[in-house]
Chains A and B, each alone.
Chain A
Amino acid sequence: MDQLPILIPLPLLVMALVVPVVALARPGAAFPLTLAAVAASATASALALAAVLDDGPMSYALGGWAPPLGIEYVVDHVAAYVSVVVTSVSLLVIVGTRRWAVREAGDRLGPFYGLVLLLLAGLTGMVVTGDLFNLFVFLEISSLAAYALVFMGGRAGMVAGFRYLVLGTIGGALYLLGVGFVYFATGTLNMADVLSILEADSSGRAVQAGAVLIFTGLGLKMALVPLHLWLPDAYTHAPSSVNTLIAPVMTKVGAYAMLRMFLSVFPDGYLRDAVPVADALLVLGLAGIVLGSVAAMAQTDLRRMLAYSSIANLAMIAVGLGIGTPLALVAALLHVMNHAVMKAALFSSVASVRLATGSSSVGGLAGIGRRMPLTMAAFTLGAVSMVGIPPTAGFFSKWYMAQAGLQDGQWLVAVVVLGSSLMTAVYLFRVLERAYLHPVPLVAGAAPDAPPAAAVQEAGESPADVVWPALALGLATVVLGLLNVVIVTRVLEPGV
């Protein structure tokens, strides 16, 4: 049981090496092997979470070299929690997108699933690591895999993938540069060690510059507002098997890395008093919520709409970090999970709709609610949670966030959070209205980019292995909403 921390990324790493080779001979084996690895990793994460809840944070010295010298894995409440979220959401998503993967990757299933595993290995590695440079290495693994997977998505995906690569590399380089400044000021790379040295003496411009550069780099990776330009195209044009996976988990881990900087790298209050990072996050976050929501309202393609809504929701997490009180951090962390689950539900159901009708435009959805009741039920649950209506999970993170804002005297936060709920309602309920209340069009070409009406008329429900993961994610928003008190008091509050 002492070995639990390494067992979180290890199955993914090992299987990433095995899958491409096995798939050369038996392409059909790629999917079950991938699934087994992700399931193993999810199990390890869950066990780690249980162990942390019982015995407190775990530290693991890789190679047996004691921490400041070697690399350390730190599994505390927050890390175990995020790792459980990432692995279990991706488990469901991978099941649900199998058909898309077969269609989109064709005879390249081996490399495809290898990259998916490496992406997840990178993300889980980032989550549990306690070393600044190790974070960079795993960040690059997951980013590189994501660039290639996005690039797979046809002509537009190619351009989006290349731009993603250029901007993502700039983000990685700025992060590395920031780590360099911190290293030259403190002489160490271990997060806990950096913290203790900075607590003794945190004066000096080098650390300030390091903090600014690290947050700019991570801001690029998590698509904070002026740096979000890569995200809409990448999410829209990525293949369905890919955006369903990266939209829920990828940027969330970037946000988590930022939170890590707050919690265990820079001393308490340093990012507020010595460098204006927290204020910048607050302002940019508020701007991002507004801009993302407004842009989402203007979209006619579901995937692009959800991409802009992702920007708004990530900005909400940034707002939580910017306020910086324990309550706000709890709200941000809760939103990390909630948004991962509901975005996965929404993207999965969009993938299911595209599988049946071949289109993801809002215009083409008329009457789809009766044709594909289960898929649209999942979509509705995700949408309701996204808007933030009480029994669902989305309500609680927004509620905590507004409360944290009011407590801190930032009434603007509460206003913007409430406003974002209204705007989300506008763009998502428009979809629901069309899906449930409009009749199926009888004339082809009712909307310019709609599929032929026949496609919607003939569309039945997608196969069970596509629908049920989406529905499970949709139901999870309700379950997690009901369980939120337990999650907050047992997992999050001890963690921040």
Chain B
Amino acid sequence: MIEEIAARFPYWATAALIVIGLYGMIAKRSLVKKLIGMNILQSAIILFFIAGSLREGASVPILFEEGAVARAEDFVNPLPHVLMLTAIVVGVAITGVALAFLVRIREEFGTLDEESLLEQVRR
């Protein structure tokens, strides 16, 4: 039981975070809350990738000693790190654009509540 938890908890926790983030994006009426949900979702995916790249007994992927022969087993898998660096930057870019949309919508409609926005548009 304990071993099972020790081996699986990162996946369970990230699954919970993903669902929380999606819930925020879909069910919350405030557009700001939708964006907060979006950020939670993105971080959750990043944690998921990094948790999957763990290697017991390995160290940070930096070659410390010049000239010493590096053994691949000594390092954490660097590929997910690279992918997630990209994903973080993409996430920030999307958040920035979404916030620009928010400011503009607020200016035009005077509200950030999804229901009343849709009402105003339908009218």
B70 touches A (CB below 8 Å): no
Q: Does A74 contact B (CB under 8 A)?
A: no
Complex Cα distance, B29 from A185, in Å, reads 37
Q: Is the Cβ of A176 less than 8 Å from the Cβ of B108?
A: no
Main secondary structure of the interface of A (DSSP, over half): helix
Bound Cα distance from A137 to B87, whole angstroms: 8
Contact B121 A156 (CB under 8 A): yes
Distance in angstroms between the alpha carbons of A169 and B91 in the assembled complex: 9
Other-chain residue from B42, B52, B117 in contact with A180 (beta carbon distance below 8 A):
B52
Shortest C-beta distance, A68 to chain B (Å), equals: 11
B16 at the interface (CB under 8 A from A): no
Q: How far is the CB of B91 from chain A (nearest CB, A)?
A: 9
Flag if A162 contacts B105 (CB, 8 Å): yes
Q: What separation, in Å, do the CA atoms of A159 and B121 have in the docked complex?
A: 8
A153-174 CB mask vs B (1 if < 8 Å, else 0) is 0011011011001100110010
A188 to chain B, nearest CB (A): 9
| Contact A176 B25, CB 8 Å, known A159-B121, A162-B98, A165-B94 | no
* Residue A399 lies at the interface, judged by CB distance under 8 Å to chain B: no
A179 and chain B: residue at smallest CB distance: B83
**Interface core residue of A158, A165, A169 (most chain B CB under 10 Å):** A169
Q: Flag if B104 contacts A166 (CB, 8 Å).
A: no
B41 touches A173 (CB 8 A): yes
Residues of A in contact (CB 8 Å), total 24
Q: Does A411 touch B at the CB level, under 8 Å? A: no
1/0 contact string of B93-115 vs chain A (CB within 8 Å)? 11001100110110011000000
Q: Does A177 contact B (CB under 8 A)?
A: yes
A66 to chain B minimum Cβ distance, whole angstroms, is 15
Residues of B within 8 A of A156 (CB): 121
Chain B residues with a Cβ closer than 8 Å to the other chain, count: 33
Q: Which residue of A lies closest to B34 (CB)?
A: A166
Does B58 touch A at the CB level, under 8 Å?
no
Q: How far is the CA of A162 from the CA of B121 in the complex (A)?
A: 13
Query: Is B109 in contact with A165, judged by CB distance below 8 angstroms?
Result: no
Assembled-state Cα–Cα distance A177/B21 (Å)? 13
- Say yes or no: A140-B94 contact (C-beta < 8 A), given A155-B109, A169-B38, A173-B42: yes
Contacting B18 at CB < 8 Å: which of A140, A159, A177? A177
Question: Which of chain B's residues have a CB closer than 8 A to the CB of A65?
Answer: none
Is B20's beta carbon under 8 Å from chain A?
no
Contact partner of B94 (CB less than 8 A), chosen from A144, A151, A184, A189, is: A144
A176-B94 contact in complex given A155-B108, A166-B38, C-beta closer than 8 Å:
no
Which applies to chain B's interface (DSSP): helix, strand, loop or mixed?
A: helix
When distances are taken between beta carbons in the complex, the residues of chain B under 8 Å from A148 are 97
B66-88 vs A, Cβ < 8 Å mask (1 yes, 0 no): 00000000000001100100110
Q: Shortest beta-carbon distance, A408 to chain B, in Å? A: 36
Rounded to whole angstroms, the CA-CA distance of A166 and B29 in the bound complex is 12
Query: Which residues on the A side are within 8 Å of B101 (C-beta)?
Result: 147, 151, 158, 161-162, 165
Q: Is the CB of B86 within 8 A of A169?
A: no
User: B41 contacts A184, CB within 8 Å?
Assistant: no
A176-B97 contact given A137-B90, A155-B108, A156-B121, CB 8 Å threshold:
no
What A residues does B108 contact at CB under 8 A?
A: 155, 158
A162 to B98 Cα, complex, angstroms: 7
Q: A residues within 8 A CB of B48?
A: 177, 180
8 Å CB contact of A140 from B45, B90, B102, B120: B90
Q: Please give me the residue from chain B that is nearest to A132 by CB atom.
A: B83
| Distance between B101 CB and nearest chain A CB, rounded to angstroms | 5
In the complex, the chain B residue whose C-beta lies closest to that of A151 is B101
Q: Could you give 16 example pairs across A and B, Cβ below 8 Å?
A: A133-B83, A137-B90, A144-B94, A148-B97, A151-B101, A151-B104, A158-B109, A159-B118, A161-B101, A162-B98, A162-B101, A165-B98, A166-B38, A169-B38, A169-B94, A177-B48
Q: Which 6 A-B pairs have the closest CB atoms?
A: A184-B52, A156-B121, A162-B101, A159-B121, A140-B90, A159-B117
Given contacts A140-B93, A158-B108, A180-B48, 18 further A-B contacts (CB under 8 A): A144-B94, A147-B97, A151-B101, A158-B104, A159-B105, A159-B117, A159-B118, A162-B31, A162-B105, A166-B34, A166-B38, A170-B25, A170-B26, A173-B45, A176-B45, A177-B18, A180-B45, A180-B52
Which residues on B are within 8 Å of A, measured CB to CB?
18, 22, 25-26, 31, 34, 38, 41-42, 45, 48-49, 52, 79-80, 83, 86-87, 90, 93-94, 97-98, 101-102, 104-105, 108-109, 117-118, 120-121
